[in-house]
């Protein structure tokens, strides 16, 4: 069994709960700013999250919810890139104001992994600018340099569930899939890791908790903290760990040892 050399992190939903109270709000502000009466409620956004990528999500909404029976007007389709840029500006504003924090255990595990010499990378379908803004505002000015690689929609066009972003990480890091562990929060994310052959730990959130994560090593409520361990909800290795855990490098090595 190979030794763990790198941890690969998804961003939205995994490092932070950015979707419901971050991107969703920012999308709605962008719609209002350009005079569209679209409103993505909490419930609707949960359904739209099936589509990875903000531009793809808006295009899907336009085609399937606003114009289900005909081709949407060209001017609306052409507006999507601008809407996405406006949405991201509202999103950065929220991050700059400190309105979005990291999920439990994330800062702790990243810090410990660095101390133990593990390599770190990001594998996301959002943009590099969004990742850097989140890292800067939650972990500090130099946090983007904690990661040897930020693989985002800027580098890889095919979004999750495609394994492309994880395959790109493996290629850039020069590692075999079994030398890595990925962290994801959703079925699309897990499918991307599995397509690349990388073992995955899934920390679910309100939008993703009903998914099927039997192929994950562990399905958890979050990464846990020593004083507040996270409940183990499923996964292939669930029988080999306690009913609640704090995910640290020791636990990751234990999982790997089988």
- Active-site residue, 12 included: yes
Quick one: what does residue 124 bind among Mg ion, ligand XBP, none, with the CB cut-off 5 to 8 Å set by partner type? Answer: ligand XBP
Closest CA to 178 of 147, 163, 200: 200
Active-site residue identified among 10, 17, 185, 248: 10
How many CA atoms, within 13 angstroms, populate the side-chain half-sphere of residue 163?
14
How many residues bind ligand XBP (CB under 6 A)? The answer is 16
Torsion of CA 72, 75, 80, 85, to 10 degrees: -160
Question: Do 111 and 86 contact (CB within 8 A), yes or no?
Answer: no
Q: How far is the CB of 239 from ligand XBP (least distance, A)?
A: 28
Interface residue with ligand XBP among 31, 53, 175, 217 (CB under 6 A) is 53
Stretch that binds ligand XBP, among 6-14, 61-69, 140-148, 238-246 (CB under 6 A): 6-14
Quick one: what does residue 53 bind among ligand XBP, Mg ion, none, with the CB cut-off 5 to 8 Å set by partner type? Answer: ligand XBP
Q: Checking DSSP bridges between strand 119-123 and strand 149-151, what pairing results, if any?
A: parallel
**155: burial class by Cβ within 10 Å (0-12, 13-18, 19+)?**
middle
Quick one: what does residue 133 bind among Mg ion, ligand XBP, none, with the CB cut-off 5 to 8 Å set by partner type? Answer: none
Q: How far is the CB of 15 from ligand XBP (least distance, A)?
A: 8
Stretch that binds Mg ion, among 9-17, 68-76, 128-136, 171-179 (CB under 5 A): 9-17
Q: Does 187 bind Mg ion (CB under 5 A)?
A: no
- Active-site residue, 129 included: no
For residue 156, how far is the Cα from the chain centroid? 15
CB atoms within 10 A of CB 214: 11
Q: How far is the CB of 53 from Mg ion (least distance, A)?
A: 11
Instruction: Give CA separation, 248 vs 3, 30, 115, 176, 256, in Å.
Output: 15, 39, 12, 21, 13
Q: Which is nearer to Mg ion, 12 or 17 (CB)?
A: 12
Place of tokens 């793809």: 56
Catalytically annotated residues: 10, 12
Contacting residues toward ligand XBP, per CB under 6 A: 10-13, 19, 23, 52-54, 124-127, 130, 160, 189
């Amino acid at each position: 069994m190979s030794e763990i050399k790198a941890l690969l992190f998804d961003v939205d939903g995994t490092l932070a709960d950015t979707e419901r109270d971050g991107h969703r709000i920012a999308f709605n502000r962008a719609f209002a700013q350009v005079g569209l009466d679209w409103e993505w409620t909490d419930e609707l956004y949960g359904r739209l999250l099936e589509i990875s990528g903000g531009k793809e999500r808006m295009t899907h909404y336009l085609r399937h919810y606003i114009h289900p029976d005909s081709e949407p007007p060209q001017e609306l389709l052409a507006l999507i890139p601008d809407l996405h840029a406006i949405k991201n500006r509202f999103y950065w504003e929220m991050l700059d104001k400190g309105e979005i924090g990291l999920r439990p255990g994330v800062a702790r595990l990243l810090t410990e992994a660095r101390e133990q010499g593990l390599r770190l990378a990001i594998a996301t379908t959002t943009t590099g600018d969004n990742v850097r803004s989140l890292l800067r505002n939650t972990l500090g000015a130099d946090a983007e340099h904690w990661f040897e690689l930020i693989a985002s929609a800027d580098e890889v066009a095919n979004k999750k569930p495609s394994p492309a972003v994880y395959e790109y990480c493996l290629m850039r890091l020069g590692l075999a899939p079994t030398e890595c562990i990925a962290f994801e929060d959703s079925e699309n994310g897990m499918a991307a890791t599995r397509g690349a052959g990388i073992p995955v730990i899934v920390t679910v959130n309100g939008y993703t908790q009903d998914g099927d994560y039997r192929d994950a090593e562990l399905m958890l409520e979050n990464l846990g903290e020593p004083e507040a361990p996270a409940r183990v909800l499923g996964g292939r290795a669930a029988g080999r760990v306690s009913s609640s855990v704090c995910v640290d490098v020791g636990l990751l090595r234990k999982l790997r040892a089988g």
